[in-house]
Amino acid sequence: MKHIILTLGLATMLAATAHADGIPEPGILYYGAITNTANANARVTNPTNQLIWTVQEAGGSALAIVAPIQNISNKWSFRFRVPFESEVGGNVKSAGAFALKAAGTTYNNSSVQIASGTNLFAANIQGVPNLSTTHSAATRGQVREVNLTVNALSVLAFGGSGGGGGGRTNTLVAAQGPNPAFQFVYVGPNPEGGYQLEWLGAPTNRSYYLLRSTSVATPVEEQEVVRQFPPATSPINVYWDTNVVNTTTYFYRLIAP
């Protein structure tokens, strides 16, 4: 009787093993920086933004990998690993991974996007128009540096307790005008309420303007003029916007018409 129970228990274990996920393997590690061409090629430094990177196996399935933008060793970057699993002893790879094969298999990066709130911005891989990687059991743990660019009304977002109190304000910023190139270096809550904007760049012999709207689609000529600035200011320019409500999304622009 004991022998029969043991045999049934072993059969049950083998059946469960046959349906287990594959064995995790070191996959391809991607890392790099994201710069915004709409913000004087400044690095994207907002931790609430996310990178959505879709990897497509040649002739097979695709995985959409979501990675945060992080401060890594004082450099704002992204990093993520493409998951792989070995199918050994009847194990089958899980739905969230690729099967690691002995022969080389090509994996294409079919879509790379930056998510800022509900907005998605296409990102470009610098210097490589169609990045692909051949991966096999012999290339476990492959590491690749891949830098990205995005052209968006920048992806600075923040939450705080300024303005009308409570909630969260997502702020998109962009530099406009032929001269000079403005670069926002900070957009965030002021401890005393409202929001503080800091930027580099100021035109000589001409005034420039900080504009604000509540829709990214609002034409420049219809946006609210928050303030006019004189032609010459210090290297870092600061403005404290106190007339805000945290439940409203604001879009700021600097122009030198």
Q: Say which CATH number the domain at 182 has.
A: 2.60.40
Q: Are residues 145 and 192 in the same domain?
A: no
For the chain, the straight-line distance linking the first and the last C-alpha, in angstroms and rounded, comes to 92
Q: Are residues 169 and 245 in the same domain?
A: yes
Say what the pLDDT of residue 12 is: 41
What are the phi and psi torsion angles at 12 (to 5°)?
-65, -40
- Count of the separate structural domains present in the chain: 2
| Any domain includes 188 | yes
Average pLDDT over residues 164-181: 41
Domain encompassing residue 117: 19-150
Average pLDDT over residues 93-111: 88
Higher pLDDT among residues 196 and 157, named by residue: 196
Say what the pLDDT of residue 62 is: 93
| Any domain includes 14 | no
Give yes or no for residue 187 having a pLDDT over 50.
Answer: yes
Is residue 124 within 8 Å of residue 97, measured between CB atoms?
no
Cα–Cα distance for residue pair 95/107, rounded to 1 Å: 16
Cα–Cα distance for residue pair 167/172, rounded to 1 Å: 17
What are the beta bridge partners of residue 120?
115
Higher pLDDT among residues 5 and 171, named by residue: 171
Q: Are residues 30 and 138 in the same domain?
A: yes
Say what the pLDDT of residue 234 is: 66
pTM of the model: 0.57
Provide the token pair at 221. 């000529």
pLDDT in tens, 29-41: 999 999 877 666 7
Q: Are residues 73 and 182 in the same domain?
A: no
Q: Are residues 134 and 162 in the same domain?
A: no
Domain termination residue (choose one: 150, 181, 199) = 150
| Strand-strand pairing, 62-72 and 75-86 | antiparallel
